[in-house]
Structure 1
Amino acid sequence: MNATVSIFTEIPETLHESLNKYLEKHPDWDRDRVLTAALSLFLLQNGDSDRQAARVYLETLFQHS
């Protein structure tokens, strides 16, 4: 991934709690990595099968800390 852009969004509290529980159990993941993986997968499944989204998804999924 070359450039990054910061975003601010509100999510339901229950989703935030679930995310925090996941992150506690998976210390090699952080919020940015989870949200990048989730957004790129969503775009792959619902978009125009963009190769860039696929690349970002795979890079994020297999990133090692």
Structure 2
Amino acid sequence: MITPPKVSLSVEIPEDLHLSLQSYLDTHTEWNQDRMFCVALSLFLMQNGVNQRQVSRIYLDNLFGYAA
């Protein structure tokens, strides 16, 4: 299986959001920050009119833990 290329992002988020995210990740060890951001970003794009099969696949793969 060929691994798709990845891009590294650096983002600033409110501290309260970061603390909530960290708290969630601490109690849900099957999740990590990268997986969470992929799910959140792809869901946002789909909800806002992006109709690309690749985005849907990234969302589903990460949501159910099948991502490469």
Q: TM-score, normalization: structure 1? A: 0.90
Share of identical aligned residues, percent? 50
Q: How does 1:1-65 map to 2 (within 5 A)?
A: 2-63=4-65
Unaligned runs of 5+ in 1: none
The runs of at least 4 aligned residues of structure 1 exceeding 6 Å deviation read none
Distance in structure 1 (CA, Å) of the matches to 2:60 and 2:43: 9
Which structure shows the bigger proportion of residues in helix conformation? 1
Unaligned runs of 5+ in 2: none
User: RMSD across aligned C-alpha pairs, in angstroms?
Assistant: 1.3
SS for the counterpart of 2:60 is helix
